[in-house]
Amino acid sequence: MTKLFARPLTASLKAALRDTPVVCLLGPRQFGKTTLARTLEPRHTYVTFDDDAVLSFARSDPIGFVAALPPRVILDEIQRVPELLRSIKFAVDRDRRRGRFVLAGSANMLLLPGLGDSLQGGVKSG
Protein backbone atom coordinates (compact mmCIF):
# COMPACT_ATOMS: atom_id res chain seq x y z
CA MET A 1 0.00 0.00 0.00
CA THR A 2 1.38 3.36 -0.86
CA LYS A 3 2.01 5.81 1.96
CA LEU A 4 -0.48 8.13 0.28
CA PHE A 5 -3.32 5.77 1.24
CA ALA A 6 -1.93 4.33 4.49
CA ARG A 7 -2.51 7.36 6.72
CA PRO A 8 -6.21 8.00 5.90
CA LEU A 9 -6.99 4.28 5.96
CA THR A 10 -5.26 3.88 9.31
CA ALA A 11 -7.38 6.63 10.86
CA SER A 12 -10.58 5.19 9.36
CA LEU A 13 -9.76 1.67 10.47
CA LYS A 14 -8.96 2.78 14.04
CA ALA A 15 -12.24 4.71 14.21
CA ALA A 16 -14.23 1.75 12.89
CA LEU A 17 -12.63 -0.63 15.38
CA ARG A 18 -13.69 1.66 18.22
CA ASP A 19 -17.39 1.45 17.37
CA THR A 20 -18.07 -1.58 15.18
CA PRO A 21 -17.81 -5.33 15.84
CA VAL A 22 -16.74 -6.19 12.28
CA VAL A 23 -14.46 -4.14 10.06
CA CYS A 24 -13.83 -5.13 6.45
CA LEU A 25 -10.61 -4.15 4.75
CA LEU A 26 -11.16 -4.90 1.08
CA GLY A 27 -9.13 -4.07 -1.98
CA PRO A 28 -6.99 -5.38 -4.82
CA ARG A 29 -4.38 -8.07 -4.31
CA GLN A 30 -0.96 -6.95 -3.12
CA PHE A 31 -2.28 -3.59 -1.88
CA GLY A 32 -1.13 -4.02 1.74
CA LYS A 33 -4.40 -4.92 3.46
CA THR A 34 -2.83 -7.67 5.54
CA THR A 35 0.16 -5.56 6.51
CA LEU A 36 -2.09 -2.68 7.51
CA ALA A 37 -4.39 -4.88 9.60
CA ARG A 38 -1.54 -6.71 11.35
CA THR A 39 0.39 -3.51 12.05
CA LEU A 40 -2.63 -1.64 13.32
CA GLU A 41 -3.94 -4.48 15.49
CA PRO A 42 -0.88 -6.49 16.59
CA ARG A 43 -2.81 -7.98 19.56
CA HIS A 44 -5.46 -9.51 17.28
CA THR A 45 -4.82 -13.14 16.41
CA TYR A 46 -4.05 -13.52 12.70
CA VAL A 47 -5.77 -16.32 10.75
CA THR A 48 -5.35 -16.81 7.00
CA PHE A 49 -7.53 -18.89 4.74
CA ASP A 50 -4.50 -19.52 2.54
CA ASP A 51 -3.79 -22.30 5.06
CA ASP A 52 -5.62 -25.37 3.70
CA ALA A 53 -6.29 -26.87 7.15
CA VAL A 54 -7.84 -23.63 8.39
CA LEU A 55 -9.85 -23.29 5.18
CA SER A 56 -11.13 -26.86 5.45
CA PHE A 57 -12.19 -26.43 9.10
CA ALA A 58 -13.98 -23.14 8.35
CA ARG A 59 -15.85 -24.64 5.39
CA SER A 60 -16.80 -27.89 7.11
CA ASP A 61 -17.96 -26.35 10.41
CA PRO A 62 -18.46 -22.58 10.17
CA ILE A 63 -20.25 -22.34 13.52
CA GLY A 64 -17.59 -24.38 15.33
CA PHE A 65 -14.82 -22.44 13.61
CA VAL A 66 -16.15 -19.06 14.75
CA ALA A 67 -16.85 -20.39 18.26
CA ALA A 68 -13.21 -21.53 18.51
CA LEU A 69 -11.79 -18.13 17.52
CA PRO A 70 -10.10 -15.91 20.10
CA PRO A 71 -11.93 -12.74 21.24
CA ARG A 72 -10.24 -10.50 18.63
CA VAL A 73 -9.12 -11.80 15.27
CA ILE A 74 -7.99 -10.81 11.79
CA LEU A 75 -9.42 -13.18 9.17
CA ASP A 76 -7.40 -12.83 5.98
CA GLU A 77 -8.54 -13.94 2.51
CA ILE A 78 -12.13 -14.03 3.81
CA GLN A 79 -13.48 -14.17 0.25
CA ARG A 80 -12.33 -17.81 0.15
CA VAL A 81 -14.94 -18.74 2.80
CA PRO A 82 -18.15 -16.80 2.11
CA GLU A 83 -20.15 -19.38 4.06
CA LEU A 84 -18.39 -18.18 7.24
CA LEU A 85 -20.09 -14.77 7.17
CA ARG A 86 -23.40 -16.04 8.49
CA SER A 87 -21.65 -17.61 11.50
CA ILE A 88 -19.80 -14.34 12.14
CA LYS A 89 -23.14 -12.52 12.01
CA PHE A 90 -24.62 -14.90 14.60
CA ALA A 91 -21.57 -14.44 16.84
CA VAL A 92 -21.89 -10.65 16.58
CA ASP A 93 -25.63 -10.82 17.27
CA ARG A 94 -24.79 -12.56 20.57
CA ASP A 95 -21.81 -10.35 21.46
CA ARG A 96 -21.47 -6.88 19.92
CA ARG A 97 -18.07 -6.03 21.42
CA ARG A 98 -16.31 -3.50 19.25
CA GLY A 99 -13.32 -4.49 17.16
CA ARG A 100 -13.88 -8.26 17.36
CA PHE A 101 -13.33 -9.12 13.72
CA VAL A 102 -11.15 -7.59 11.03
CA LEU A 103 -12.00 -9.20 7.70
CA ALA A 104 -9.43 -8.71 4.95
CA GLY A 105 -9.99 -9.82 1.39
CA SER A 106 -9.22 -9.16 -2.21
CA ALA A 107 -12.77 -9.53 -3.50
CA ASN A 108 -15.58 -7.15 -2.69
CA MET A 109 -17.59 -9.51 -0.50
CA LEU A 110 -20.61 -7.28 -0.40
CA LEU A 111 -21.12 -7.79 -4.15
CA LEU A 112 -21.06 -11.59 -3.94
CA PRO A 113 -24.59 -13.03 -4.26
CA GLY A 114 -26.39 -13.23 -0.92
CA LEU A 115 -23.45 -12.09 1.19
CA GLY A 116 -24.37 -8.46 1.62
CA ASP A 117 -27.31 -9.48 3.81
CA SER A 118 -25.15 -11.65 6.07
CA LEU A 119 -23.37 -8.80 7.82
CA GLN A 120 -25.58 -5.78 7.18
CA GLY A 121 -25.67 -3.36 10.07
CA GLY A 122 -22.63 -4.68 11.88
CA VAL A 123 -19.88 -3.92 9.38
CA LYS A 124 -17.82 -0.96 8.31
CA SER A 125 -15.66 -1.16 5.21
CA GLY A 126 -12.34 0.55 4.78
DSSP per residue, 17-70: HHH-SEEEEE-STTSSHHHHHHHH-TTSEEEETTSHHHHHHHHH-HHHHHHHS-
Select the highest-mean-pLDDT range: 46-50, 95-99, 118-122: 46-50
Query: CB under 8 Å to 116, separation ≥6 — which residues?
Result: 109, 110
Q: Cα(108)–Cα(27) distance, rounded to whole angstroms?
A: 7
Q: Cα(120)–Cα(38) distance, rounded to whole angstroms?
A: 24
List, for residues 43-67, the tens digit of each pLDDT value: 899 999 999 999 999 999 999 999 9
List, for residues 6-46, the tens digit of each pLDDT value: 567 788 888 888 999 999 888 877 777 888 888 878 889 99
